[in-house]
Structure 1
Amino acid sequence: MAAPRGTTWKRFREIFSLQYWTKFVFDPGHSFLAMICLLAAEVVINLLVIQRIKYTEIDWVAYMQEVGGVVNGSYDYTTLKGDTGPLVYPAGFVYIFLGLYHITERGVNIVLAQYIFAALYVLSLMVIFDIYRQVKQMPPYVLFFMCCASYRIHSIYILRLFNDPVAMLFLYLAVDMFLRDKWSLGCLLFSFGVGVKMNVLLFAPALLMLLVVRHGTIGSFKYLTICASSQVIMGLPFLLVNPVGYIVRSFNLGRQFFFKWTVNWRFLSEEMFLNRYFHLLLLATHVIVLLFFFWFKWRRLFPGTSFQLWMKPSQSPLSPTQIVLPLFTSNFIGMCFSRSLHYQFYVWYFHTLHYLLWSTPLPVIVRLLLLGMIEMSWNTYPSTDFSSSALHVCHFVALIGLWTSPAYTPVTQTVRAAKLE
């Protein structure tokens, strides 16, 4: 039976009204259209960048030399090295870049590698969009600043071919699985990310809390075992040859960074930058801030949960905010107090910044200004006293905003629970 003529005309006017289309720009619950359009735009942008902007060699050749040693039969980590120094990444990195070594004709076919990393970029965006589709925190227009507006991020993926985006893809896949209450698969993917690069461990403090809340103290051991055993399995060929060499090289938390590459501490003297006591101060501050957020903020996300040594598992799945906010905040705190941030490290938290800022009570204009200043700081090469100072100021303002986030107030939690119902 056909719809009445008046109803059809009303629907027609509704579709072509300004109010109808504004929801696809400002309503977090209607972000799907913006996501599809931005993904299509990103495919075009990545192809244009590959075709028109010159590739810059930094670490790709070194990666190929490092995994080339494995091709030649060496499983002793102390013998694997490239032009930039010894291999310092876990075994997951070796397996993935070993595959790229063969696919790209021993690393010679750079253009093919760029297309692979372009696909990696688009796939990462799809996963990130799926996370934010479930969280429903940011208005769709913010996604533009997450995609097309960052030159540095495109450069890290397709003009530099760093391993950092590979590690972050596994991390975002893991978060997506946590949102689906698939914790075993999520922990396995999280461990794969750590197996590519250790920066993923910055999310670990919040993940440990979530495991204990969702599965209880005893139940969380199962998931920690998945993380640990997968690391052993990945590293087994190297552990059997030289276990000490593998552990020291691939999980070296005390590795020294070069002052010339720092993005965040340029205003310090090189002597202070390299000072071990300064490093210990940063580590202590990092731990203290994490503990403060856990004790005074994160616990508020779980009303009715009694945090104690032996906890019982949650009777229901965790909400998107309960999962994503602590995970992304934990990583952001690690970035704030990092001993050094190099340019490729921007990808460690870039795609989380927008969610974090829109979780604060800061005015929209301040959020956008912070995004712009952070982008400026990461695009300034070489870094300057001003750019690195500005980055710390932005981090501090964002951290204060996260501390005062309305997500931690009981009223906000009640309203969100009502909306979910």
Structure 2
Amino acid sequence: MQEVEGVVNGTLDYTHLKGDTGPLVYPAGFVYIFTVLYYLTNQGQNIRVAQYIFAGFYIVLLSLVLRIYSKTNKVPPYVIILACCTSYRIHSIFVLRLFNDPVAMLLFYVAVNLFLDGKWSLGSLFYSLAVSVKMNILLFAPVLLLAYLTSLGLKGALIQLTICAFTQLILGLPFLLSNPIAYLKGSFNLGRIFLYEWTVNWRFLPEEVFINQYFHLGLLVLHLALLACFYSSALHCLCSYATLKQISEKVKRQLKGKKEKVDMGAAAQLFILPLFTANLVGVACSRSLHYQFYVWYFHTLPYLMWSTPYSNIARLCLLGVIEFCWNTFPSTLVSSAALHICHGALLYGLWKNKPLGKGRQQ
């Protein structure tokens, strides 16, 4: 709230927007949303009202996530119920801490539902809105670009990218007109240094390694390498998704006015799996994970776990250890190392079980 108070008072130069936690480092969408919250909560003083609002956000997000899971028909219902009801950290992020991460993910899941419904332009709008709240949403971008190309072709992809870019331009225009360099550097700073004291995933490293630029470069290379490992399976999934969607549209036209319905659960899986996998790769290779970042991928974990060849017991154990790691405060050598082991095991399981070009499973 402190960062947006400057905007409320008429300051649009990002170099002068800051709070107790430091300068404003989020794009314009964050400013607009939290400005509304600023007024709804009596200038940020009425925390109870803010908690009610974020509880509402949480319910809406869960509804969107459950709709995705129901469309894919991949994960047993009891797992989804456990995931929704048992995470203390996620409840804290939403209702106690009031971070912007849940807002960004809420907008992202709106976009995913719209994509699954074939409403690409509206989905791109909400995707860009999510990016304007927090940049972690860009972790999904490589697969989304592939989805644009495979489902809409080059021309359609360019249209969707234009929608995304134009949305960012319109939202950021007041700040760009005031000080464009400060806005771009402040809100889209990919080189920002994180504080070692808050890291969840790299506690077992010395601080001098944690802040070393070569270490950051190595993580970037690893990120790109892992994306490359999953590229062929992602492309196969998305091409198959585009084909099945075209077939389903033809069948729906033929069944128009009849009671029969087309089940597109398998097709939805082909879209969701590479999308969620790309995000997991980004999370696993992050330069630092803070506690509120758990919401970046928490609601995708059951789906990803049930896309591996592991037994149900192993899947539940991995979910439990991940939850333990995120609930350990402050993080320890053991909790950080365990989190990486779980991420590695999950990525290996996804790679082991990835779809092949002929539609078989390894």
TM above 0.5, yes or no, is yes
Name 1:78's counterpart in structure 2.
15
Q: Tell me the distance in 1 between the aligned counterparts of 2:341 and 2:182.
A: 40
Counterpart amino acid of residue 400 in structure 1? Y
Counterpart amino acid of residue 234 in structure 2? W
Q: Tell me the distance in 1 between the aligned counterparts of 2:341 and 2:357.
A: 26
1:343 Cα deviation after fit: 0.2
Name 1:204's counterpart in structure 2.
141
Name 1:358's counterpart in structure 2.
306
Does residue 1:128 correspond to 2:65, yes or no?
yes
Name 2:35's counterpart in structure 1.
98
Q: Tell me the distance in 1 between the aligned counterparts of 2:120 and 2:241.
A: 19
Q: Tell me the distance in 1 between the aligned counterparts of 2:219 and 2:293.
A: 18
Does residue 1:300 correspond to 2:236, yes or no?
yes
Q: Tell me the distance in 1 between the aligned counterparts of 2:120 and 2:285.
A: 29
Which one of the candidate residues 100, 107, 113 is aligned to 1:176?
A: 113
Does residue 1:401 correspond to 2:337, yes or no?
no
Paired residues in the alignment total 344
Higher relative contact order (CA 8 A, sep 6+): 2
1:298 Cα deviation after fit: 1.5
Q: Tell me the distance in 2 between the aligned counterparts of 1:289 and 1:248.
A: 28
Q: How does 1:216-235 map to 2 (within 5 A)?
A: 216-235=153-172
**Contact 1:183-1:223 at 8 Å conserved across structures:** yes
* 1:268 counterpart SS class: coil
**Contact 1:179-1:320 at 8 Å conserved across structures:** yes
**Contact 1:298-1:408 at 8 Å conserved across structures:** no
Name 1:258's counterpart in structure 2.
195
* 2:86 counterpart SS class: coil
Q: How does 1:7-406 map to 2 (within 5 A)?
A: 64-295=1-232, 297-302=233-238, 315-316=246-247, 319-405=267-353
In 2 relative to 1, CA 302–236 (structure 1 residues): closer, same or farther, beyond 3 Å? closer
Q: 1:214-254, CA deviations, whole angstroms, 9 ceiling, x for partnerless residues?
A: 01122210000000000000000100110111000000000
**Contact 2:151-2:239 at 8 Å conserved across structures:** no
Tell me, which stretches of 5 or more residues in structure 2 are unaligned?
249-263
1:385 Cα deviation after fit: 0.3
In 2 relative to 1, CA 383–218 (structure 1 residues): closer, same or farther, beyond 3 Å? same
Q: Tell me the distance in 1 between the aligned counterparts of 2:291 and 2:241.
A: 40
**Contact 1:238-1:246 at 8 Å conserved across structures:** yes
1:405 Cα deviation after fit: 2.0
Q: Tell me the distance in 1 between the aligned counterparts of 2:214 and 2:82.
A: 38
**Contact 1:188-1:227 at 8 Å conserved across structures:** yes
Counterpart amino acid of residue 173 in structure 1? V
TM-score normalised by the chain length of structure 2: 0.92
Q: Tell me the distance in 2 between the aligned counterparts of 1:305 and 1:382.
A: 43
- Cα RMSD of the aligned pairs, angstroms, is 1.9
Q: Which has the larger radius of gyration?
A: 1
1:91 Cα deviation after fit: 0.1
Query: Percent of aligned positions with the same letter in both sequences?
Result: 57
Q: 1:379-421, CA deviations, whole angstroms, 9 ceiling, x for partnerless residues?
A: 00000000000000000000011112265474569xxxxxxxx
Q: 1:170-202, CA deviations, whole angstroms, 9 ceiling, x for partnerless residues?
A: 111100001101110101000000000000000
Q: 1:139-189, CA deviations, whole angstroms, 9 ceiling, x for partnerless residues?
A: 111112221110000000001111100000011110000110111010100
Q: Tell me the distance in 2 between the aligned counterparts of 1:222 and 1:253.
A: 26
**Contact 1:89-1:197 at 8 Å conserved across structures:** yes
1:291 Cα deviation after fit: 1.3
